[in-house]
Chain A
Amino acid sequence: MGFISNFSGGQPDLHPIATPLVLVPIGQRWVFETRATFENDLVQLPGRSGFHGGPVQKEVEYAQLDFIANSCVTITVGRFLTPFGIFNERLYPVWIRNLQSDPLILPIGIGPSNASTGGMIRGGFKARPQFNINYAVYFSALSTTSPVDSDRFAGVRTGIFIPKARLEMGGSFQHLLEQERSNLFGFHAIWQPTLLPLDIRGEYANSKRGSGYWIEPAYKLSQLPFLQNEMRRTQLVARYQQFFTGDLVSDALPPINTKQFEFGLNYYFIDGLKAASNYGRQFSSAGNLNVWTLGLTYRFVVPMGSAGGPR
């Protein structure tokens, strides 16, 4: 759940958002999971006081059934977040992301509405004592019914995770099975050095509709010698990103080459409750722009019914 206020080029915009997630474990090997979003955009209208919004927008982001076939294979069917790169599947929820704005390259490879309709096989296993391998192979069918629209494509993402170094690196590949039938690819890395309270994430994506990268270091101030209780809850974040237009155009991507630098400060109150602020400056030939965001996000978990239990 979150309350995000955005000031883009000086225009304030309040953005309350709630994303309930329902998990239903069935027996020992099945899980049904679904997440919906309820959001509204409240803007100031000229000549009127206060903020005004339209109807609340509702959307089912995913609804999938997972079958844990064995220690290395899970089979998923339904509508699932497309595992191209890491942002969409792992970092998207407002309580997780370090900066409240989306990376410019986010729309690359994830399809309309960020999700695929089809099937996926995924899993993780220990390949050697020093590292684990994870993989996801998926297929999505064309669906034009909004809001459950998706493109027809097939893809794979794999990663290698070295637990001792807390480093994960990987790549994504996707083949579009419609339109110009092009290939898309990307790389990602997440590193949390064991000696520093630092978190570095980055991604690169390439498609016919554009390419680009972002890199985002985040540092918890727990090593400062003063106000330790407050400082260990405070996180400084920076993100630098660049987008380059491709041969084809896409409504979801910037129409011109764009660079963006953002800086943010997060404060973690208690488990799940976070205050977030960020300032960004966008540079493009259409003019430069300041983007401010202030927000409060909260993740909580409520048990419902009596399904499932410790395995």
Chain B
Amino acid sequence: MRRNWMLVCCLGVMACLVRSALAQEQERSDKGSAVVASAGPSTANSNASHDRRSPPALRSTASAERAQRIEGEKRFRTNCGRCHQPPHKFPSRVMATAIRHMRVRAMLTDEDMRLILSYMTQ
């Protein structure tokens, strides 16, 4: 009986959390989506693949990089403070190892990991 009550309470709390999460998401959905589209899972040195560079292409590369940096920072903020205090930047070799570790431990998605790594090693 007591266990059933606890289960009901847990489910109730979860339902409230989901509801407020969805409400928050609704509220922010119009602001949030602009940057996401341009940020692919590319790393800082992936420019090499852009070989046909006309001036507009250059400009778009620069803005894509900016968008990627902003996206990287955003993903850092959402992901890296979830379990512990978000860390400061370390030398890039250390950062790469720590983020690979976190990818395994925190089950980060591939895209999150790449964006965060390029943001943290800039």
Q: Chain A contact residues (Cβ within 8 angstroms of B): what range?
A: 35 or more
Q: A211 vs B91: C-alpha distance in the bound complex, in angstroms?
A: 44
- Interface flags, B1-45, vs A, CB<8A=1, else 0: 011001100100110011011101100110010001000000100
Q: Which of A76, A168, A308 is B97 in contact with, Cβ under 8 Å?
A: A308
- From residue B12, how far is it (CB to closest CB) to chain A in Å? 12
Contact B96–A308 (Cβ < 8 Å): yes
Q: Is A51 an interface residue (CB 8 A)?
A: no
Instruction: Please report whether the interface of chain B is mostly helix, strand, loop or mixed according to DSSP.
Output: helix
List A residues 104-154 near B (Cβ within 8 Å).
122-126, 129-130, 132, 134-136
- Interface flags, A75-114, vs B, CB<8A=1, else 0: 0100000000000011100011000000000000000000
Instruction: Please report whether the interface of chain A is mostly helix, strand, loop or mixed according to DSSP.
Output: strand
- Residues in chain B near residue A286, CB distance under 8 A: none
- Looking at A176-184, A186-194, A248-256, the stretch in contact with chain B turns out to be A186-194
Q: Which of A272, A301, A309 is B96 in contact with, Cβ under 8 Å?
A: A309
Contact B24–A23 (Cβ < 8 Å): no
- From residue A262, how far is it (CB to closest CB) to chain B in Å? 19
Contact A123–B96 (Cβ < 8 Å): no
- From residue B21, how far is it (CB to closest CB) to chain A in Å? 3
- Interface flags, B74-118, vs A, CB<8A=1, else 0: 010011011111011011111111101101111111111010010
Q: Is B121 an interface residue (CB 8 A)?
A: yes
Query: CB-nearest residue of chain B relative to A206?
Result: B3
- Interface flags, A193-232, vs B, CB<8A=1, else 0: 1110000001010100001010100000000000000000
Contact B104–A31 (Cβ < 8 Å): yes
- Residues in chain B near residue A308, CB distance under 8 A: 93, 96-97, 100
Contact B109–A124 (Cβ < 8 Å): yes
Q: Is A61 an interface residue (CB 8 A)?
A: no
Q: Which of B13, B22, B94, B108 is A124 in contact with, Cβ under 8 Å?
A: B108
Q: Which of B21, B43, B83, B87 is A162 in contact with, Cβ under 8 Å?
A: B21
Contact A25–B97 (Cβ < 8 Å): yes
Q: Which of A122, A204, A213, A301 is B94 in contact with, Cβ under 8 Å?
A: A301
A76, A124, A132, A309: residue with the most chain B Cβ atoms closer than 10 Å: A124
Binding site for B on A (CB under 8 A): 23, 25, 31, 33, 66, 68, 71-72, 74, 76, 89-91, 95-96, 122-126, 129-130, 132, 134-136, 159, 162-169, 187, 189-195, 202, 204, 206, 211, 213, 215, 244, 268, 271-272, 274, 301, 303, 306-311
- Kindly list 14 other residue pairs between chains A and B, CB separation below 8 angstroms, not including A91-B83, A268-B85: A71-B109, A123-B107, A126-B109, A162-B21, A163-B79, A187-B10, A194-B28, A202-B13, A213-B6, A301-B98, A303-B91, A308-B93, A309-B92, A311-B114
Binding site for A on B (CB under 8 A): 2-3, 6-7, 10, 13-14, 17-18, 20-22, 24-25, 28-29, 32, 36, 43, 75, 78-79, 81-85, 87-88, 90-98, 100-101, 103-112, 114, 117, 121
